[in-house]
A and B are shown apart, each in its own frame.
Chain A
Amino acid sequence: MIRIKSSQDLFGGAMLIAVGFLGWWLVQDLPMGRLVRMGPASTPSLISLILVGFGVVISARGLLIEGPGLDAWAWRPLAIITGSIVAFGALLERAGLVAAALALVIISTLAAPDKRWGELAVFAVGLTVACVLIFKSFLGLPLQVWPL
C-alpha cells in the first residue's frame, strides 16, 4: 500500500490536474487552426495539457518524497471574510455605499478573536464616513451613497 508522504503535494497536484482537464475540455468547441493562423483553442489546450503534466508529477512527488502535509482549514474566517465582501457587493448598488460599508466592516470584524462591540460601533461609523468623504466628496467617484 502506498503511503502519502506529502498530502500538500498530492492535493496540489490533483488540483492542477483538475484545472488542466477543465481548461482543455472547455475549449474543445473552438477551432484549433493551423500554424499559420492558430485558432483560439490551440494555446489554451497546450497550456492545459502542460498543467495536467505538472499535476501528475507533483502529485506523484506527494506519494514518493517526504514533504509538508495539509494544515487544517480555518473555515470560520474564510466564510466570514468572503461573506463580508459579497455582502458589500450585494448592497452597494441596492442600498448605497453607507449600508454596504457598514455591513462589510461589521461582518468582517466577526472574524477577529478580540473584537469589542463598543469600539466596533464607533470604528465602523468613522470608517464609513471617511470613505464617503474620500471616495465621493474628494475623488468624486460615481458611487451611490444612500439608497435610491
Chain B
Amino acid sequence: MNFVRLVVATLGLACALSPSATVGAQDRYPSKPIHLVVPFAAGGATDIVARLVAAKMGNALGQQIVVDNHGGSRGSIGADIVAKSLPDGYTLLSGTSTTHVINPARYKRLPYDSVRDFEPISLLVMVPSVLVVHPDVDARTVKQLIALARANPGKYGYASSGDGTSLHLAGALFARMADVDIQHIPFRGSGAALTELISGQVSMMFDLLPSVLPNIKSGSVRPLAVTVKQRLQTLPDVPTMSEAGLPGYETYTWNALFAPAKTPKAIIDRLNAESVKAVKLPEIRQKLAELSADVVGSTPEELAAHVKAELAKWTPVVKATGAMID
C-alpha cells in the first residue's frame, strides 16, 4: 500500500516511531527488496507477527521486506514455494508449528521436507494455549475435569479449530496423557468454536491465549490451566498443566523464520542478527506481549533442534488420532 501507507503514516506522525537512519549499503546483501512469504491468509496471528517483524527488519537492513500471503493447504503451499526458491536470501518463510511439524506428521505426501529443505534463521515467538471450560462444567481444576471425564466416558466434547489443527492435537494429547474418552468436535476456526463453548454447546477447549483472553476476563469461560512450563504474567492465578496434575504436558504454537536450504551462512547470520534485534526491541516486544506472544529470538541452531524435538513429540500423537492424510 505504498501511497496509502505514506498518507496514513504521515498523518500518524505525531505518535510515530523515531525514524531510524538508513545505513549506507556497504554490504552487497540485501541489494533489492526481500520477500517474506506468510503461508496463511492475511490478518491471522502469523501474519500480524510477520508484518511487525518485517517492518523493523526492513528498516535495519535498508531494504523493504515485502510480505506475500500465499495461503492454502494449511500453509503447505506457501512453505513449498519457499522450499523451492533460490537460496539467495531474497525469499524467506514465516514458518509455524503447522508448516514444520504438524503437516509433515500428517500428510503422507508433502511436497517439502521441513528439515531438509529449509535453513533455520530464528525462532521468533511462542504462543501459549489455555485449557478452558464452560462455567457450568462441574470442574474447578484439571484433576476434577479428568475425574469427571473418566466417570462419563464419551459424554464430554472438546472444540477445536478443525481436524488436525494444533488445537485439535492439544486436545488429543490431553486425552492420551490423562487417559480419558472425550469427543473431538471440529469447527471452522477457533472463533466459531469459542462461540459454542460460551453458549455451552461444547464443554471444553484448548485455545490460544490471545483469542480466549477476553472471555476469560469477562468470566464467560473458566480457565483451568495454561499449557506452558511457567505461569503467565497475564493469568498469574492459573496453574500450569504440570502443577495441575498432568506433568510433562506442554503445547504451544510458534513462529519462526526460515530460508531455503543452502542459503549462505553469512546471509543467515545477518538475518538472524536483525530478526533477533527486531523482536527484542521494547516497542515490538510490547506489541507482541499484547498478542500474548512470548519473544524467544533463538539462534539458527536452537531453531533446528527445536523443529526436530517437536517432530519427535507430535508425530506419534498425530498417528494416534488417525488424522493421517494421503
11 further A-B contacts with Cβ under 8 Å, apart from A140-B1, A142-B66, A142-B68, are A136-B2, A137-B2, A137-B3, A138-B4, A139-B1, A139-B3, A139-B4, A140-B2, A140-B4, A140-B5, A142-B35
Bound-state Cα–Cα, A142 to B33, Å: 11
A-B contact pairs, 18 of them (CB 8 A): A136-B2, A137-B2, A137-B3, A138-B2, A138-B3, A138-B4, A139-B1, A139-B3, A139-B4, A140-B1, A140-B2, A140-B3, A140-B4, A140-B5, A142-B35, A142-B66, A142-B67, A142-B68
Q: Mark A16-60, 1 if CB is under 8 A from B, else 0.
A: 000000000000000000000000000000000000000000000
Bound-state Cα–Cα, A140 to B3, Å: 7
| Cβ-Cβ contact count across A and B, 8 Å cutoff | 18
Identify the A interface with B (CB < 8 A). 136-140, 142
**Chain B residues whose C-beta falls within 8 Å of the C-beta of A140 in the assembled complex:** 1-5
**Chain A residues whose C-beta falls within 8 Å of the C-beta of B68 in the assembled complex:** 142
Bound-state Cα–Cα, A138 to B7, Å: 11
Identify the B interface with A (CB < 8 A). 1-5, 35, 66-68
Bound-state Cα–Cα, A139 to B66, Å: 13
**Chain A residues whose C-beta falls within 8 Å of the C-beta of B66 in the assembled complex:** 142
- Residue in B2, B5, B66 whose Cβ sees the most chain A Cβ within 10 Å: B2
Bound-state Cα–Cα, A138 to B227, Å: 44
Query: B68: nearest residue on chain A (CB-CB)?
Result: A142
Bound-state Cα–Cα, A140 to B5, Å: 9
Bound-state Cα–Cα, A136 to B2, Å: 8
Query: B70: nearest residue on chain A (CB-CB)?
Result: A142
**Chain A residues whose C-beta falls within 8 Å of the C-beta of B5 in the assembled complex:** 140
- Chain B nearest CB from A77 CB (Å) reads 32
Bound-state Cα–Cα, A137 to B4, Å: 9
**Chain A residues whose C-beta falls within 8 Å of the C-beta of B4 in the assembled complex:** 138-140
- Residue in B1, B67, B68 whose Cβ sees the most chain A Cβ within 10 Å: B1
**Chain B residues whose C-beta falls within 8 Å of the C-beta of A136 in the assembled complex:** 2
**Chain A residues whose C-beta falls within 8 Å of the C-beta of B1 in the assembled complex:** 139-140
